[in-house]
């Protein structure tokens, strides 16, 4: 019998053993790094490591072309630049995301427009996306949040109807599948992050897939990440015909990335198994809404986020999260503190100090209540950690803890 007195009230904790841990980096990475140094160059165009990292990535993803970048934020900026997004364009995206989704939009002097989300997948609601389209709309940046893909059939149908570019932010969604296709290969460009907190890490770094498969598109994308240098084969053309930043990846990152990609399948399999198990274990509890994976999809759970329905519980969301934490289960209330459009940058319409550009080019406004479902998600969500080094019994303990707390407060 599991004790019913909550740990937060002095009962015994559900979790009595430490969570599984492990080393993310080992000799595989060290060997690649040594080889990179022995090349006597750390420049991607002269060395072989970034090239190999990309060709391995392309093989896993079944794409012809991709470009390495210095971060996930950079990858999204590069995709926007390659897509031709520019001054005064509107770009529709998600209000629950990392700010890295938004940086490139504003650097292109385009205007982020936020559409609302689906209540349990936490991803863009295609109906809301379509409702936000204006004559200025040029692109949609879909965020596949926490390893769960957006409803891409509906998104692509809207994009085709209005002739929009689709950029997939896959920073949290490695090997995530939508109806058998990998997230990141469905829109025009797919953007990945290898910062230290993602499924795989190169310290910092990113990748952009060029899904048209067209050489011209690839050249444009590649040059946009390398201050307009066009380096293809032995040919190097240094022609400045437009503005492009330097977002190059170094050989050190590429080297670590080669070794990390070999672990990616295992990491994602474990996370999928654990996340789906958690959902099965907590489904049907009154007042608890599990993290819903999009229909026809396979999630790879960068984190697990359930929602509580306070009208069916005798506690608040914060009390529920605290009770879980007291049981020994890391749990935090919400994800980001508030929807991104409530941040001062949008409230003051000030991306550049002392200027309201480019916001003054559009009449879109960032009022509270703009995306009511998204606002509600952040008020009622509880985020649990999923890690590939956890054991099956760790997951069972997480399930028991949620059940115990829900049973107590559901009464």
Ligand X SMILES: *Cc1c(COP(=O)(O)O)cnc(C)c1O
Which residues belong to the active site? 198
Q: How far apart are CA 303 and CA 172, in angstroms?
A: 9
Q: Using CB under 6 A, which of 97, 120, 123, 209 touches ligand X?
A: 97
Longest dimension (CA), the chain: 73
Q: Is 169 in the site for ligand X (CB under 6 A)?
A: yes
Phi, then psi, of 80 in degrees rounded to 5: -65, -40
CB of 376 to ligand X, least distance (A): 20
CA distances from 102 to 73, 76, 110, 341, 369 (A): 8, 9, 10, 10, 20
Q: Using CB under 6 A, which of 47, 95, 100, 254 touches ligand X?
A: 100
Q: Is 300 in the site for ligand X (CB under 6 A)?
A: no
CB of 215 to ligand X, least distance (A): 27
Closer residue to ligand X (CB): 204 or 394: 204
CB of 169 to ligand X, least distance (A): 5
Q: Is 73 in the site for ligand X (CB under 6 A)?
A: yes
Q: Is 193 in the site for ligand X (CB under 6 A)?
A: yes
Q: How far apart are CA 332 and CA 336, in angstroms?
A: 10
Q: Using CB under 6 A, which of 89, 98, 226, 375 touches ligand X?
A: 98
Give 174's contacts (C-beta < 8 A, 6+ positions apart).
147, 192, 198, 199, 200, 264, 267, 268, 300
**Residue 307 host element (H or E):** strand 304-308
Closer residue to ligand X (CB): 195 or 322: 195
Q: Is 72 in the site for ligand X (CB under 6 A)?
A: yes
Q: How far apart are CA 125 and CA 119, in angstroms?
A: 9
Asked whether 178 and 121 are in contact (CB, 8 A), the reply is no
Residues 39-68 contacting ligand X, CB under 6 A: none
Q: Is 123 in the site for ligand X (CB under 6 A)?
A: no
Q: Using CB under 6 A, which of 68, 110, 143, 378 touches ligand X?
A: 143
Q: How far apart are CA 44 and CA 35, in angstroms?
A: 14
Q: Is 195 in the site for ligand X (CB under 6 A)?
A: yes
Closer residue to ligand X (CB): 100 or 328: 100
Q: How far apart are CA 114 and CA 96, in angstroms?
A: 9
CB of 323 to ligand X, least distance (A): 28
Q: Is 209 in the site for ligand X (CB under 6 A)?
A: no
Q: Is 176 in the site for ligand X (CB under 6 A)?
A: no
Q: How far apart are CA 236 and CA 391, in angstroms?
A: 50
Closer residue to ligand X (CB): 66 or 172: 172
By CB under 6 A, the count of residues binding ligand X is: 15
CB of 170 to ligand X, least distance (A): 8
Q: Is 89 in the site for ligand X (CB under 6 A)?
A: no
Q: Is 171 in the site for ligand X (CB under 6 A)?
A: yes
Q: Is 168 in the site for ligand X (CB under 6 A)?
A: no
CB neighbours of residue 197 within 10 Å:
11
Q: How far apart are CA 93 and CA 102, in angstroms?
A: 8
CA distances from 79 to 76, 98, 134, 185, 246 (A): 5, 17, 21, 13, 14
CB of 102 to ligand X, least distance (A): 9
The one segment of 3-11, 151-159, 164-172, 278-286 that binds ligand X by CB under 6 A:
164-172
CB of 257 to ligand X, least distance (A): 13
Q: How far apart are CA 290 and CA 305, in angstroms?
A: 7
As separate numbers, helices (DSSP H) first and strands (DSSP E) second, the chain gives 12, 16
The one segment of 71-79, 120-128, 153-161, 255-263 that binds ligand X by CB under 6 A:
71-79
Q: Using CB under 6 A, which of 172, 176, 211, 221 touches ligand X?
A: 172
CB of 260 to ligand X, least distance (A): 14
CA distances from 285 to 13, 82, 269, 276, 376 (A): 20, 47, 26, 16, 20
Q: Using CB under 6 A, which of 101, 209, 228, 380 touches ligand X?
A: 101
Closer residue to ligand X (CB): 171 or 267: 171
* Contact residues for ligand X, defined by CB under 6 A: 71-73, 97-98, 100-101, 143, 169, 171-172, 193, 195, 204, 206
């Amino acid at each position: 019998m599991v004790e019913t007195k909550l740990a937060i009230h002095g009962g015994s904790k559900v979790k009595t053993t430490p969570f599984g841990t492990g080393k993310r980096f080992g000799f595989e990475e060290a060997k690649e790094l040594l080889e990179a140094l022995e090349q006597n160059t750390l420049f991607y165009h002269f060395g072989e490591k970034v090239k190999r990292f990309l060709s391995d990535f392309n093989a896993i993803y079944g794409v012809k072309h991709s470009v390495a970048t210095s971060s996930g934020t950079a990858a999204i900026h590069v995709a926007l630049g390659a897509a031709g997004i520019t001054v005064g364009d509107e770009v529709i995206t998600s209000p629950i995301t990392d700010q890295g989704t938004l940086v490139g939009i504003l650097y292109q002097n385009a205007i982020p427009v936020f559409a609302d989300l689906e209540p349990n997948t936490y991803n863009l609601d295609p109906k809301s996306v379509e409702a936000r389209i204006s004559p200025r709309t040029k692109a949609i940046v879909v965020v596949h949040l926490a390893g769960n893909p957006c409803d891409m059939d509906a998104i692509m149908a809207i994009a085709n109807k209005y002739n929009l570019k689709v950029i997939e932010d896959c920073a949290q969604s490695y090997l995530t599948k939508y109806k058998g296709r990998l997230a990141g290969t469905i829109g025009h460009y797919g953007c990945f992050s290898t910062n230290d907190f993602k499924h795989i890490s190169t310290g910092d770094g990113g990748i952009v897939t060029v899904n048209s498969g067209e050489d011209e598109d690839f050249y444009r994308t590649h040059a946009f990440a390398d201050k307009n240098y066009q380096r293809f084969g032995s040919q190097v053309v240094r022609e400045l015909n437009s503005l492009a930043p330097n977002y190059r990846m170094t050989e050190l990152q590429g080297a670590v990335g080669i070794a990390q990609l070999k672990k990616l399948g295992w990491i994602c399999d474990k996370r999928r198994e654990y996340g789906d198990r958690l959902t099965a274990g907590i489904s049907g509890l009154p007042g608890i809404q599990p993290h819903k994976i999009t229909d026809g999809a396979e999630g790879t759970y960068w984190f697990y986020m359930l929602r509580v329905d306070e009208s069916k519980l005798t506690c608040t969301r914060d009390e529920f999260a605290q009770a879980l934490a007291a049981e020994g289960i890391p749990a935090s209330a919400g994800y980001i503190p508030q929807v991104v459009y409530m941040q001062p940058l949008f409230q003051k319409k000030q991306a550049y100090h002392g200027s309201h550009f480019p916001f003054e080019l559009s009449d879109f406004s960032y009022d509270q209540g703009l995306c009511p479902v998204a606002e509600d998600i952040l008020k009622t969500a509880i985020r649990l950690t999923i890690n590939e080094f956890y054991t099956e019994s760790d997951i069972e303990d997480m399930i028991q803890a949620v059940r115990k707390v829900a049973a107590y407060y559901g009464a």
